[in-house]
């Protein structure tokens, strides 16, 4: 079953890749992530609004692609390349 993700959540886990090690929750400085009670399960995203998008959870993850960080739309817009006109 494919899991749907809410775009308002900054942290997105891919449970099929996550090994449930809890490394991401251990480094989260905002306490957005809490280790799951069940071993081998992805952490719980408790307060997504408190995330300040530092990326520590993604860097601490032992499995590439198991966790993604979705920056707010306004922050993503800042990185869109500007096309220069020929005129």
Query: 39-83: per-residue pLDDT in tens?
Result: 888 888 888 888 888 889 999 999 999 988 876 655 555 555 667
Alpha-carbon span 52 to 69, nearest angstrom: 10
Residue ranges covered by each domain of the chain: 19-76
- List pLDDT tens digits, range 4-35: 444 456 778 788 999 999 999 999 999 888 88
CATH code, 19-76: 3.30.70.20
pTM metric for this prediction: 0.67
């Amino acid at each position: 079953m494919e899991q749907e993700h809410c775009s308002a959540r900054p942290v997105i886990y891919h449970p099929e890749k996550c090994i449930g090690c809890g490394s991401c929750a251990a480094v989260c400085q905002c306490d957005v992530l809490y280790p799951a009670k069940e071993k081998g399960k992805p952490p719980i995203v408790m307060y997504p609004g408190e995330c300040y998008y530092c990326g520590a959870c993604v860097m601490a993850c032992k499995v590439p692609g198991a966790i993604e960080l979705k920056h707010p739309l306004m922050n993503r817009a800042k990185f869109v390349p500007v096309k220069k006109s020929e005129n």
